[in-house]
Chains A and B, each alone.
Chain A
C-alpha cells in the first residue's frame, strides 16, 4: 500500500449520551476505501471528521500531513478535498449550474471563465450537461444526487469523501458512477460510505466495517467475503433453523450460517460476509 494520506488514531466522538465513535483507527491511501455499516454505526460521523466539518472529542487526525484542528491545517486539507455530505443542502432557486458555480467560488475559483469551464466539465462528467440550467427543484432525486457528486469533483481533488454517493441513483447511473469513481481513484484517495455491498465488491480495493462506533473489519472485499467461507448454502427449501435465509431469483433458498440438510455449499459474497459480521454470528473479526 502506498503512503497513507489519511491517518486516524483513537478517534472518539460523542453526541450527548450517544457514542458515535469509540476509538477508531483508520488509514487510507490512493484508491477506493469503502465504509460499510448499519445506520448509526458512525460512518457519517467519521466522514464528517475527515472532511473537517466536525472535530473529534479525542484522538488524532492527519490528512495530507495537516492537522485539521488548526486553521492552517484545515485550510490545507480543504484545498485538496471534495466532499459529498449525506444530505446536501440545495438552494431551491439555484439551477444545477448556479449551485456548482457557487461551491466553486467557495473553493476559491476566482477567475470566472476558468470557473465556468470547470463547472461545465464536472456537470458533463455526471451526465447533467443537458439540464445544467434547470432549477434544482425541477430535477429528480437522482439528478440532485449527481449535482452533489459534481460539486465534489471540482478541481479534481486529491481526497474525495463521499457519503452514500449512490443513494437514489438508478442502476445505469450507478454503473456510470462506478466508472467515474474508478477514473478518479487512479490518482486520488476516495473514502465512501455505502449500504450497497455490490458497490463495495465492484469498486473498493479495501473495505472497513464499522459497528457500534468501532472498526470491526479492515481488509479487502475478498477477505470480507471469506469470513463466510463454508457458511453459505443453497437448498430447495427454507430451513427455519438457519441464521439467515431468503429465496433467490432462481427460486432456491440461500442460507447463511449453519448448513441445512441436503444443501449445497455456495461461494460467499461480500454481502454474506458483512451479514455474518453485522449479525455477530460466530465469526472471527479481522481488523
Chain B
C-alpha cells in the first residue's frame, strides 16, 4: 500500500479552485483519491460545508433513485409515475411470469394447429388472464405483503388497476397467438369476452373467497361448461363450432361482464382487507 499523499495545498486548490489544476494533475489526483481515505478527508476539510450540503442535495435524488423497470417505464405512459411503480410490482407483470405465459400459449397454438381445430386454444385461452389475476392480488403476492394492506392506496382501486393491466397484457399475448391459429376467422377471437368475463367473475368471487380459491372455482366452472357443451352438442365438429363461442354465447358474456363489475363495485370493501383470505 502506497504511503504517498497529496500535498495539502494541492488538495485545497483542487477543492476550491479546480480551474488552476491542470488536467493531468487532476486526473492523477482523482485516481489517488479513490484509494486514499486520508486525502479524501483533506479535500472534505477544504470545502465549505454549506457548498458540500447543497451539492449533495442537488444530486442525491438522482443517485438514490430506484431503478426503473421496463414494465414501469411502459406503464408510465398510462399512469402517473408513482402509480406506475405500484402497478408494475404486480407479480403477473414480471418477466418470468410473462415468459411462462408465452410458452403456454405457444403450446396451445401448436395443439390447435396439430389438430387443425380452434378448440384447444379457445378452451384454454380464457384461463390465461384468469391465472394472472389470481396471482396478482391479495396480501401474499404484494411486494410489501400485509404492510401494503394497511396503506391508503390499497383497496378496490389498486386491485382494479392491476387487474386491468394484467388483463391487457394477457390479451395482447393471446392476440399474438391467435394470429398463428389455423384458418383465421372471427371465431378465432371468440375467447376475448370469455377471457375478460372470467377474470372479472373471479374478482367478484374473491369478495367472498380467497383469490386463489375464487380463480380455481371460476376455472373449474369454465372447463365444466366447455366440456359439457362439447358433450351435449354432438353434431358439431368441435367445441369451437358449438354454442359456447357462437353469437349467443358471446352475448351471454357481454351481459356477465357488467354484472361482475357491479358485484365488485358493491362489495369493494372486501378487497381492502384480508377478509376471507
Instruction: Please report A residues at the B interface, Cβ cutoff 8 Å.
Output: 48, 51-55, 69-71, 74-75, 78-79, 81, 83-85, 87-91, 94-95, 97-99, 101-103, 105-110, 112-113, 115-116, 120, 132-133, 148, 151-152, 161
Contacts and interface: CB of A to CB of B under 8 A. Distances in A.
Contacts, number: 122
Given A51-B150, A83-B147, A148-B147, A102 B64 contact: no
B43 interface: no
Contact of A74 (B61, B142, B146, B272): B272
Contact of B80 (A89, A98, A110): A110
B140 interface: yes
A151 B144 contact: yes
A83 B152 CA distance: 12
A106 B81 contact: no
B49 interface: no
Given A52-B273, A102-B86, A105-B82, A87 B145 contact: yes
A106 B146 contact: no
A106 B86 contact: yes
B65 interface: yes
Contacts of B268: 71
Contacts of B147: 83-85, 88-89, 103, 148, 151-152
Q: Is the interface of B mostly helix, strand, loop or mixed?
A: loop
Contact of A120 (B64, B86, B153, B274): B64
B275 interface: yes
Nearest to B86: A105
Contacts of A106: 86, 144, 148, 151-154
Given A74-B272, A110-B82, A151-B144, A91 B150 contact: no
A78 B64 contact: no
A105 B86 CA distance: 7
Given A110-B80, A112-B61, A120-B64, A99 B143 contact: yes
Contact of B146 (A70, A87, A91): A87
B269 interface: yes
- Main SS of the interface on chain A? mixed
Interface string B59-79: 011001111000000000000
Contacts of A151: 144, 147
B149 A53 contact: yes
B73 to A, nearest CB: 15
Given A78-B152, A87-B145, A71 B272 contact: yes
B139 interface: yes
27 contacts: A51-B149, A52-B149, A54-B275, A71-B269, A74-B155, A75-B152, A83-B146, A83-B147, A85-B145, A87-B145, A88-B144, A89-B143, A94-B143, A97-B66, A101-B66, A101-B85, A102-B89, A102-B143, A102-B144, A108-B151, A108-B152, A109-B82, A112-B81, A112-B82, A113-B61, A132-B64, A161-B150
- Would you list the 10 A-B pairs with minimal beta carbon distance, nearest first? A89-B145, A91-B143, A106-B151, A83-B150, A85-B146, A53-B149, A106-B153, A105-B82, A78-B152, A51-B150
Task: For chain B, give the interface size range.
Answer: 35 or more
Given A89-B145, A110-B80, A152-B147, A105 B274 contact: no
Contacts of B64: 97, 116, 120, 132-133
A69 B272 CA distance: 10
Contacts of A70: 269
Interface string B260-277: 000000001100111100
Contacts of B146: 48, 53, 83, 85, 87-89
Contacts of B139: 53, 89
B66 A98 contact: yes
A81 B64 CA distance: 26
A76 to B, nearest CB: 9
Given A52-B272, A70-B269, A116-B61, 7 more contacts: A74-B272, A88-B145, A102-B89, A106-B86, A108-B151, A113-B61, A120-B60
B152 A79 contact: yes
Interface in B99-154: 139-140, 142-154
A116 B89 CA distance: 18
Nearest to B64: A116
Contacts of B144: 88-91, 99, 102-103, 106, 151
A115 to B, nearest CB: 8
Interface string B144-173: 111111111111000000000000000000
A81 B152 CA distance: 9
B249 to A, nearest CB: 36
A83 B147 CA distance: 6
Nearest to A85: B146
Given A75-B152, A103-B151, A90 B145 contact: yes
The listed residue with most A CB atoms (<10 A of its CB), out of B60, B89, B151, is B151
B273 A53 contact: yes
A53 to B, nearest CB: 4
